[in-house]
Amino acid sequence: MKTINHWIGGKPVEGVSGNFGPVYNPATGAQEKQVAFASADEVDAAVRAAKEAFASWGTSSLAKRTSVLFKYRELVDAHREEIARLITAEHGKVHSDALGEVARGLEIIELACGIPEKLKGELSTQVSTRVDVAAIRQSLGVVAGITPFNFPAMVPMWMFPLAIACGNTFVLKPSEKVPSAAFKLAELAAEAGLPDGVLNIVNGDKVAVDAILAHPDIAAVSFVGSTPIARYIHTTGTANGKRVQALGGAKNHMLVLPDADLDLAADSAINAAYGSAGERCMAISVVVAVGETADPLIGKIKERADQLRIGPGDDPASEMGPLITKVHRDKVASYVTGAAAQGADVVIDGTGYTVEGYEDGHWLGISLLDHVTPEMDAYRDEIFGPVLSVVRVDTYDEAIALMNNSPWGNGTAIFTRDGGAARRFQLEVEAGMVGVNVPIPVPVGYHSFGGWKDSLFGDHHIYGNDGVHFYTRGKVVTTRWPDPSDGGINLGFPSNH
C-alpha cells in the first residue's frame, strides 16, 4: 500500500512515528493509501528546516522570489489535470469541480507573482526639517497553515504562495484525509526552484496540530475548517503568542424575493447547495423564501434535482460525487431523518442512495427539506453535505432578522430584480461576503476571503490585501540626515517646524 510521507527540507522524508492514517477512495469505500502521522519531533524538524531557510529567503530580492513564483505558476497550470485527478481520488468530487479548485488556487499564485506591487511602502518627506518618515512591511519568519479536506489544493494555495512571496518560510499541515495534492504542490515548488526548506509539509492529526500551535519558532498560523476547531486554533495559538487567522464554519442563507427570476434562483440553489456534495463552507444550505415564492421555487428546484447525475468523480457523466467518509455520510443522513421527526417536509430524501457497481462508496443522494424552522437541528447545525433547507417568511424584514440571528456570518446571497432592495441587503446583512444574484460569492484573488462572527477568528481575512498584511508586519522608519552646517545640543522635545 502506498504511503504518503512528509516533505521537509526540499525532499520527501519518511515518517518515523509509527502512526498512520487511512486514505480512502470515497467512490469505492476502499482504503488505497496510508498517510504518515508526524510526531512533535517531526514537526520540529520541519520548523528547523524552515527557520534555516528563512535566513536567506527572508532577505532574498523580490526579483528572485517572483521568478520562482512565475515558474511555479507555469508548472501548476501544466499539471492541473494530474492535481485534479489526485483530488478526485481522495476527496471524491467530480473532475470538473477539482479542475475549478486548481484554477482558483492559481489565482492566488498569480497574486503572489505581483508581490512587488503589494509590498511597496510609503514615504513622507520633510515631515520636520530634513526629517523623512517611511513605512515598510517585513516578513514574519516561519509561518504555518492547517488546511481542510474539502479543498486539498486550493486552500493550501490560498496560504503558502503569498506567505513565501512576502519572504516567509512555510510549514503546511494538510488534512490527513486528502494528502496527495499538497505533496504534489510541494514537488512542483521544488521543480520551480524554490530553495530547500522554504516550503515543508507535515502530515498528521491533532498531535501535529498542537505541535504547530505550541512551537516557539512559528510566528503565525492560518487555518480553515470547522468553527469549534477554528476557535481552538485561535485560542491556543494566540495564547502561545502567535498571530492567527482561523476561518470557521458557516450556515449560508440565500434570500429569494418575490420579484426574483425564479429559474435563475433555482439553478443557483442547485449549484450552490449540491456542488461538491455540499462539502464546502460557501455552500448555500438555507433558502429563505419570501411570501408566495416558496411553492414555485421548490417545484423548480425539485425538477432540476431529479435530473442530477450522481456517480464516481472520474466519470465524465457525474455531476456530484460521494462524501468524504462513511462516518460523515451517516452523520449528514441523520439530519434528513431528524428533520422529518422534528416536523419538516422531506421533499427529496437522498438517504438511501447507492450507485450500481460502487455499493460500498460513501454515497448520499441530494435532500430537499421544506417548512424548516430555526429550532430544528437541520437549520441550527452546519451539515456540510447535500441537504438544502427551505425556510418560509412573510417579509424582507423577517428574513433579514432571521439571517442576522445566525451565529455564523460567512457568505450570503440575495436574488431580486430590485436594485434598492439589493443595496439595502448588502448593507444590512451581517456576513463577510455577499452575492447579488450570485449564490457563492467567493472573492477573486485580489480581494480577501472571510466571514464575520463565528465564521472567522482573528483580525485578517485570507489572501488579497488582508493576506499580505497577515504575513507581514509594519515598521516605520524616521530619518534625519543633518546638513553639515548643523551642530550643537538641544534637549527639548522635537518640533514639527
From residue 232, alpha-carbon distances to 243, 271, 396, 431, 457 in Å are 14, 32, 36, 22, 10
Whole-angstrom Cα distance, residue 244 to residue 231? 10
86 phi, psi to nearest 5 deg: -65, -40
In the residue annotation, 281 being an active-site residue is answered as yes
Q: How far is CA 351 from the centre of its chain?
A: 28
281, 289, 294, 388: the active-site residue: 281
Residue bearing cell 520551480 = 192
The CB density around residue 31, as the number of other CB atoms within 10 Å, is 12
Catalytic residues: 281
